[in-house]
Amino acid sequence: MQLYDNGQDIILCQVPAFDLAQTLDCGQAFRWQQQPDGSFAGVAGGRRLHISAVGQDITLHNTTRQEYEAFWRHYFDLDRDYEAVQRQLSAHPVLRQAIAFCPGLRILNQEPWEALCSFIISQNNNIARIKGIVARLCESFGESLGEGWYAFPTAQRLAVLDVEDLAPLRCGFRARYILDAARRVAGGEIVLENLPALQMAEAQAVLCRILGVGEKVAQCAMLFGQGRVECFPRDVWIQRACRSFFPDGLPEYVLPYAGIAQQHLFEFMRRQQVVEV
DNA sequence: AGCCAGGGTCTGC
DNA sequence: GCAGACCATGGC
């Protein structure tokens, strides 16, 4: 994969397995907006980015080589061999179909707090509405990045708020969940950065101390916010997929990358309206 | 109008 | 351990 730096943009040539829409609009992140020309604009890690693609050539606009190396390279998971992972998962016929359906889907390495908070908001909710709530959360309490863009608010900022302060978000019963999470993280009771060192069950138990965090939200927080690609969050779509296609559980060879398989299945099920057996 | 959405909590057996 | 009510909100 060749990299060019023209002084304004970073250009990545022939990036394997990277489709912007499949990756940024698949329900794993909620802050990317597709532009009329098909490119995407958004914020991650307190940084604004505009990203576009021509074929497999990807351009990161208005960023630097340093920012790319320090952040975006890992955020877009560019050091993982997705073709090898996809080959391994494709041993199962349904996964082969699901991967063929969105072969350019990557799992983003989002910030731990943003992932946790976003998926607390996701519970018993739909993606369009999650995006709206997250947008209002950032506009209300995130640091301004100029021109109407805002960082995701820190746990410290949210921890001092009260339920009434979150009323404009219209997030319903989730308001007190957000505040409970923010207070535990800001107070140091839960150090998200330390969780990857724990066994998965142990890390999950820590996350589940937060009000409104159960197994599914914890698995999402670890998959999307802590690089744990073996996590397998089971939402209603994945439950249906498992009932239909994996009644005896996932095959052994899927387990190390169950989270990647999961995201392909999620898109395959919800976008294709796959009928249950 | 009723059902569903990237679920979880609380109560009661 | 497990079922069932309940939780806010909005799109269909």
For residue A231, what pLDDT is reported? 98
Which residues are A42's β-sheet partners?
A: A32, A49
- Considering all nucleic acid strands, name the nucleotide whose C1' atom is nearest to the C-alpha of residue A129: C10
- SS3 of residue A2 by DSSP: strand
Q: Which helix (H) or strand (E) holds A15?
A: none
Query: A84: closest CA among A1, A17, A19?
Result: A17
Q: Could you tell me which residues are beta bridge partners of residue A230?
A: none
Q: What is the pLDDT of residue A159?
A: 98
Residue at token pair 């009323």:
A167
- Scanning residues 26 through 55 of protein chain A, those with a beta carbon under 7 Å from any atom of strand B turn out to be 26-28
The confidence score (pLDDT) of residue A239 equals: 96
CA–C1' distance A237–B4 (Å)?
12
List of protein residues whose beta carbon is under 7 A from strand C: A 124-126, 128-129, 170-173
The pLDDT assigned to A277 comes to 55
* Burial annotation A164-187 (CB, 10 A radius, 16+ → b, else e): eebeebebeebbebbbbbbbbbbe
Q: Name residues 50-109 of chain A with a Cβ under 7 Å from nucleic strand B.
A: none
pLDDT at A275: 59
Nearest nt to the A133 alpha carbon by C1': C9
Q: Which residue is nearest to nucleotide B7 (CA to C1')?
A: A123
pTM, 2 dp: 0.97
CA A190, A194, A200: angle at the middle one, nearest 5? 95
Geometric angle at alpha carbon A247, from A242 and A250, rounded to 5°? 70
Strand B closer than 7 A to residue A270 Cβ: yes
Q: Is the CB of A268 under 7 A from strand B?
A: no
Scanning residues 205 through 264 of protein chain A, those with a beta carbon under 7 Å from any atom of strand B turn out to be 208, 211-218, 220, 233, 235-238, 262-263
- What's the number of CA atoms in the CB half-sphere (13 Å) around residue A251? 12
Whole-number pLDDT of residue A14: 98
Angle at A239 between CA A124 and CA A129, to 5 degrees: 25
Using the C1' atom of nucleotide C10, identify the protein residue whose alpha carbon is closest.
A129
- Gap from A212 CA to B12 C1', in Å? 21
**What count of other Cβ atoms lies within 10 Å of the Cβ of residue A21?**
15
Neighbours of A198 (CB within 10 A): 12
Annotated catalytic residues of A are 216
pLDDT at position A276: 61
pLDDT score, position A273: 67
Q: Which nucleotide is nearest to A173 (CA to C1')?
A: C8
Minimum CA–C1' distance nucleotide for A170: C9
Enumerate the nucleotides of strand C whose atoms come under 7 Å of any protein CB.
Answer: 7-11
Stretches where chain A sits below pLDDT 70 are 273-277
